Amino acid sequence: MASGVWPNADMKPDAPPSASAAQHLARALGEAMAETATGQRALAVTSGVAHTTIGRILAGTVLCDIGSLARLETALGRRLWPEHPDAVTHRRSRRKPTARNRTAV
């Protein structure tokens, strides 16, 4: 961190991308918990994520794994992971292949 207090601190320019994602997640998780008046232990019960892990995510001392993230998002009913506008998503077509739209695999 360049200055400030986690998770609202300014990041150093050379900070790894994971640091910004962890910071965003900590902010989003803290805001969601505050808006829903949900404490760490209550969220632990509903999400299945240990309250100590939730505390570490909020403090920025651990990177959240994808399973914990999914359980937290489900329990809180909202997206916590940052969405990047430059991210490319690929979706499979639901159409059955035909001679016209079939592509080489």
**With bands split at pLDDT 50, 70 and 90, how would you rate the model's confidence at 103?**
low
In the chain, the domains with their CATH numbers are 17-76 (1.10.260)
Angle at 3 between CA 29 and CA 1, to 5 degrees: 65
pTM: predicted TM-score of the whole model, two decimal places? 0.73
| Cα dihedral sign, 90-93-98-101 | negative
Residue in 89, 80, 95, 66 with CA at minimum distance from that of residue 26:
80
pLDDT recorded at residue 74: 97
Distance CA 51, CA 56 (A): 9
What is the average pLDDT across 15-36?
92
How close are the terminal C-alpha atoms of the chain, in Å? 45
Q: What is the pLDDT of residues 32-90, one digit of tens each?
A: 999 999 999 999 999 999 999 999 999 999 999 999 999 999 999 999 987 765 544 44
pLDDT recorded at residue 95: 53
